[in-house]
């Protein structure tokens, strides 16, 4: 088992009660308070402890005769290699991120061990079976990266609340509390009439500034002077609503600024996490704060970070489970939203967008865990003919809540299990090797320890065992544009990219391209070969509007408390509505081979991406898949 969260707890219990005698479970996470409403093996006293170890202890209390081996570790650690996976008869995934899922899929392929995937979101769920040589692998259908937004929209012309959240989380929070060496597109002009001719970094805290003075300076520059500078460009606002600069003196009287945080002694204790809300006397996370309250929270969160968590400054990244971070991002996003005439949101809603949260349902996890065990038993009995992918629906469709589907054959163009060459369109004169490694090799292809070769020449390698001079040489290559590498990469070049830990290798043909659409192609690179042509998709609940199920989150990539939910474009998957349309007179498994199945309109598909699942619509017409016999 990989994962001991929402699905994992139910799965371990069901495995034990079904007669499984030897189970190994890997999970790197520790138990949090928010897990307790559905991960029933855990109790309040377990908060902060290893999920894998506590889950083992809990199950052994009622099934002491079985062997459970827990690993409090990351499944991507070097110790969990192909040889490690070869010792198992089947691998069951209950993971919470796409990167780890792809990693396990590749290890299972290399080890030739069957993999059973699963996912839930709300009342929806699914289980899929992946067996090398018999079915498609987990990556035969392309998995998308999270939705991105043009930098110019985020920094200059936000029109939706999600734009403000991205600005507050990925730019402002990172600039104030993250690694100062990291590139950041947030630029705030010192437009306060300063006489200094030298450009001033207003984020640098002066030696004579206390926390309150620094907080006021940041507030006025970010929400006031910076907006005034933007307004000076009249061309930008000809067809847009002009934002309003917001200065602290116009929002909070001096008296309230001085009183801000005076409730800290009453509300903050060593037993509770730091909270700006508690410090200023606010308690309900579902209330929509006024501009004044958002301003108070912003200043208080800044003060608490620099006053009580100063040792962490410079190393912080946003975490949805960090209460103070969520409060800061919510308040900053709301103040910016107010400036641009965008509706304000509650902390509850803002956290859902910032953390990509779709709330989980324990019953769905239990159903999916049971289905996983059923498929695992079939695999262990070598009953491959009867293996099924099963979808759990929210509402009965043709009197069915569980929809079984025969597994699909491998995608012949899959670069993971079929080794089909890929095509990369890139401007080889402006894109650097670092761009290629970060955006394509790591982000798109999901490789952790890449090795890049052109012919027999090694261009780049990652590893702890590299000699210093070799590592330094590779580091120098990273910042060179592709055509200026020691072995130039230009149009027509073929690169070989390998990950030795995953035992995966793929070939990428390079095609030079001069220009890219910044809105549609923000990476300025387009990877082709195994993907269907992507179209915009939405996360919906059984075909209903997202606005009813997940307020204010339709524009964001969703995430349940278990895991991320990414909208997935998969034109070659058989669409669920095709099955539903046809099951009135036939069994679902008989319908999958209909020659006219792709002609049904308004189709939706269930496809999981993490410990969750999404329903998608508006797919391009693509070639049909064959059933396995």
- Decide if pLDDT at 619 tops 50: no
Is 489 contained in some domain? yes
Percentage above 90 pLDDT, the chain: 43
pLDDT confidence of residue 607: 34
Q: What is the pLDDT of residues 605-617, one digit of tens each?
A: 333 333 433 333 3
Residue 17's contacts (CB-CB under 8 Å, 6 or more residues apart) are 63
Mean pLDDT for the chain overall: 79
> Which of 174-183, 258-267, 446-455 shows the lowest per-residue confidence on average (mean pLDDT)?
258-267
181 vs 272, higher pLDDT: 181
Q: Where in the sequence is the domain holding 495, given as residue range(s)?
A: 422-528
Is residue 211 domain-shared with residue 346, that is, in the same domain? yes
Angle at 192 between CA 191 and CA 198, to 5 degrees: 60
Is residue 17 domain-shared with residue 114, that is, in the same domain? yes
Is 1 contained in some domain? no
Q: What is the pLDDT of residues 412-460, one digit of tens each?
A: 888 888 877 889 999 999 999 999 999 899 888 888 888 998 887 888 8
Confidence of residue 237 (pLDDT cuts 50, 70, 90): confident
Q: 98 among the known binding-site residues?
A: yes
Is residue 243 domain-shared with residue 339, that is, in the same domain? yes
With CA atoms as reference, report the closest residue to 622 among 603, 589, 422. 603
The residue among 528, 561, 580 that closes a domain is 528
Is residue 10 domain-shared with residue 131, that is, in the same domain? yes
- Containing 7, the helix (H) or strand (E) segment is helix 6-17
Q: 8 among the known binding-site residues?
A: yes
- Decide if pLDDT at 266 tops 70: no
Half-sphere exposure of 610 (CA within 13 A, CB side): 27
200 vs 626, higher pLDDT: 200
Q: Which residues of 342-368 are buried (b: 16+ CB within 10 A; e: fewer)?
A: bebbbbbbbbbbbbbbbebbeebbbbb
268 vs 327, higher pLDDT: 327
CATH assignment of the domain containing 475: 3.10.290.20
Is residue 436 domain-shared with residue 335, that is, in the same domain? no
H helix count then E strand count, the chain: 22, 17
Is residue 222 domain-shared with residue 139, that is, in the same domain? no
- Model pTM score: 0.65
pLDDT confidence of residue 24: 97
Q: Which residues are catalytic?
A: 152
**Which is it for strands 422-426 and 400-405: parallel, antiparallel or unpaired?**
unpaired
Q: 520 among the known binding-site residues?
A: no
pLDDT confidence of residue 274: 84
**How many angstroms separate the CA atoms of 272 and 265, rounded?**
12
Q: How far is CA 339 from the centre of its chain?
A: 29
Confidence of residue 260 (pLDDT cuts 50, 70, 90): low
CATH assignment of the domain containing 256: 1.10.10.520
Structure tokens at 259: 């009183």
21 vs 579, higher pLDDT: 21
- Decide if pLDDT at 580 tops 80: no
Is residue 346 domain-shared with residue 377, that is, in the same domain? no
Is residue 159 domain-shared with residue 256, that is, in the same domain? yes
Is 284 contained in some domain? yes
User: CB count, 10 Å around CB of 544?
Assistant: 12
Q: What is the pLDDT of residues 506-557, one digit of tens each?
A: 889 999 999 888 778 888 899 887 643 333 333 332 333 322 232 333 233 3
Is residue 24 domain-shared with residue 106, that is, in the same domain? yes
Number of independent structural domains in the chain? 3
Q: Are 625 and 574 in contact (CB under 8 A)?
A: yes
408 vs 518, higher pLDDT: 408
Confidence of residue 573 (pLDDT cuts 50, 70, 90): very low
- Decide if pLDDT at 192 tops 90: no
- Decide if pLDDT at 247 tops 90: yes
Query: Residue 587 burial (CB < 10 Å; 0-12/13-18/19+)?
Result: exposed
Is 213 contained in some domain? yes
Is 316 contained in some domain? yes
Is 416 contained in some domain? no
Q: 5 among the known binding-site residues?
A: yes
Q: 6 among the known binding-site residues?
A: yes
Q: At what angle do helices 323-339 and 347-354 cross, to 10 degrees?
A: 100
Q: What is the pLDDT of residues 350-389, one digit of tens each?
A: 998 888 776 788 999 999 999 999 999 999 999 999 999 9
pLDDT confidence of residue 144: 62
Q: Are 211 and 303 in contact (CB under 8 A)?
A: yes
Is 618 contained in some domain? no
Is residue 329 domain-shared with residue 275, that is, in the same domain? yes
pLDDT confidence of residue 625: 41
Query: Residue 469 burial (CB < 10 Å; 0-12/13-18/19+)?
Result: exposed
Q: 101 among the known binding-site residues?
A: yes
Show the DSSP H helices in 282-322 as ranges: 291-308
The residue among 316, 335, 355 that closes a domain is 355
Confidence of residue 26 (pLDDT cuts 50, 70, 90): very high
Confidence of residue 584 (pLDDT cuts 50, 70, 90): very low
Q: How far is CA 192 from the centre of its chain?
A: 38
Q: 52 among the known binding-site residues?
A: no
Residue 407's contacts (CB-CB under 8 Å, 6 or more residues apart) are 128, 129, 130, 131, 134, 135, 136, 387, 388, 389, 628
Q: 471 among the known binding-site residues?
A: no
Q: 137 among the known binding-site residues?
A: yes
Q: Which residues of 108-124 are buried (b: 16+ CB within 10 A; e: fewer)?
A: bbbbebbbbbbbbbbbb
Residue 74's contacts (CB-CB under 8 Å, 6 or more residues apart) are 28, 100
5 vs 465, higher pLDDT: 5
Q: Are 380 and 90 in contact (CB under 8 A)?
A: yes
- Decide if pLDDT at 187 tops 70: no
- Decide if pLDDT at 64 tops 90: yes
pLDDT confidence of residue 469: 79
Is residue 438 domain-shared with residue 511, that is, in the same domain? yes
Q: What is the pLDDT of residues 540-553, one digit of tens each?
A: 323 333 222 323 33
Is residue 383 domain-shared with residue 456, that is, in the same domain? no
Structure tokens at 93: 């995934």
Residue 179's contacts (CB-CB under 8 Å, 6 or more residues apart) are 314, 315
Q: Which residues of 388-424 are buried (b: 16+ CB within 10 A; e: fewer)?
A: bbbbbbbeebeeeebbbbbbbebbebbbbbeeeebeb
pLDDT confidence of residue 361: 87
Q: 4 among the known binding-site residues?
A: yes
Is 534 contained in some domain? no
- Decide if pLDDT at 87 tops 80: yes
What is the SS3 assignment for 9?
A: helix
- Decide if pLDDT at 109 tops 60: yes
């Amino acid at each position: 088992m990989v994962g001991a969260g929402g699905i994992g707890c139910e799965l371990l219990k069901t495995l034990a009660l079904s007669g499984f005698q030897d189970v190994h479970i890997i999970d790197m996470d520790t138990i949090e308070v928010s897990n307790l409403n559905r991960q029933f093996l855990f109790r309040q006293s377990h908060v902060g402890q290893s999920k894998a170890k506590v889950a083992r202890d809990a199950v052994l209390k009622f099934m002491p005769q079985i062997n459970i081996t827990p690993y409090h570790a990351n499944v991507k650690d070097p110790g969990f290699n192909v040889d490690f996976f070869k010792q198992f008869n089947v691998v069951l995934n209950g993971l919470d991120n796409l990167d780890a899922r792809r990693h396990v899929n590749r290890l299972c392929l290399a080890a030739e061990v069957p993999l059973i995937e699963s996912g839930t979101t709300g009342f929806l769920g699914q289980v899929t079976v992946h067996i090398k040589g018999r079915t498609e692998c987990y990556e035969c259908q392309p998995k998308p990266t999270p939705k991105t937004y043009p930098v110019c929209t985020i920094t200059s012309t936000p029109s939706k609340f999600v734009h403000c959240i991205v600005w507050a989380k990925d730019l402002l929070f990172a600039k104030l509390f993250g690694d100062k060496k990291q590139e950041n597109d947030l630029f705030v002009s010192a437009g306060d009439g300063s006489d200094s001719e030298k450009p001033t970094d207003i984020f640098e805290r002066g030696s004579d500034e206390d926390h309150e003075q620094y907080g006021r300076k940041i507030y006025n520059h970010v929400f006031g002077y910076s907006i005034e500078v933007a307004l000076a460009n009249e061309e930008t606002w000809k067809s847009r609503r002009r934002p309003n600069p917001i200065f602290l003196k116009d929002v909070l009287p001096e008296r309230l600024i001085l009183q801000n945080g005076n409730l800290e002694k009453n509300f903050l204790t060593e037993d509770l996490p730091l909270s700006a809300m508690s410090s200023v006397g606010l308690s309900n996370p579902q209330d929509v704060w006024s501009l004044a309250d958002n301003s108070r929270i912003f200043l208080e969160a800044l003060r608490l970070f620099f006053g009580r968590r100063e040792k962490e400054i410079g190393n912080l990244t946003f975490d949805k489970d960090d209460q103070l971070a969520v409060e800061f991002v919510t308040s900053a996003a709301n103040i910016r939203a107010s400036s641009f005439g965008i509706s304000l949101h509650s902390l509850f809603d803002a956290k859902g967008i910032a953390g990509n949260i779709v709330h989980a349902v324990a019953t769905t996890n239990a159903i999916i865990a049971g289905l996983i065990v059923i498929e695992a038993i079939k695999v262990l009995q070598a009953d491959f003919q009867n293996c099924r992918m099963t979808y759990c629906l929210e509402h009965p469709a043709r009197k069915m809540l569980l929809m079984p589907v025969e597994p699909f054959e491998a995608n012949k163009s899959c670069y993971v299990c079929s080794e089909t060459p890929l095509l990369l369109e890139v401007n080889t004169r402006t894109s650097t090797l670092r761009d290629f490694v970060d955006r394509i090799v790591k982000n798109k292809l999901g490789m952790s320890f890449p090795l890049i070769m052109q012919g027999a020449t090694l261009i780049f390698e990652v590893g702890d065992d590299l000699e210093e001079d070799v590592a330094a040489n590779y580091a120098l290559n990273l910042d060179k544009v592709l055509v200026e590498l020691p072995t130039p990469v230009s149009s027509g070049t073929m690169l070989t990219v390998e990950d030795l830990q995953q035992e995966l290798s793929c070939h990428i043909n390079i095609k030079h391209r001069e220009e890219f659409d910044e809105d549609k192609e923000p990476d300025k690179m387009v990877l082709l070969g195994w993907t269907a042509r992507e179209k915009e998709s939405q996360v919906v609940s059984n075909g209903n509007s997202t606005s009813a199920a997940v307020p204010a989150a339709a524009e964001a990539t969703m995430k349940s408390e278990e895991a991320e939910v990414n909208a997935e474009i998969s034109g070659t998957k058989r669409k669920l509505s095709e099955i539903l349309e046809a099951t009135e007179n036939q069994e679902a498994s008989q319908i999958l081979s209909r020659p006219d199945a792709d002609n049904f309109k308004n189709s939706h598909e269930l496809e999981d991406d993490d410990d969750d699942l999404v329903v998608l619509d508006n797919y391009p017409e693509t070639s049909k898949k064959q059933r396995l016999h």
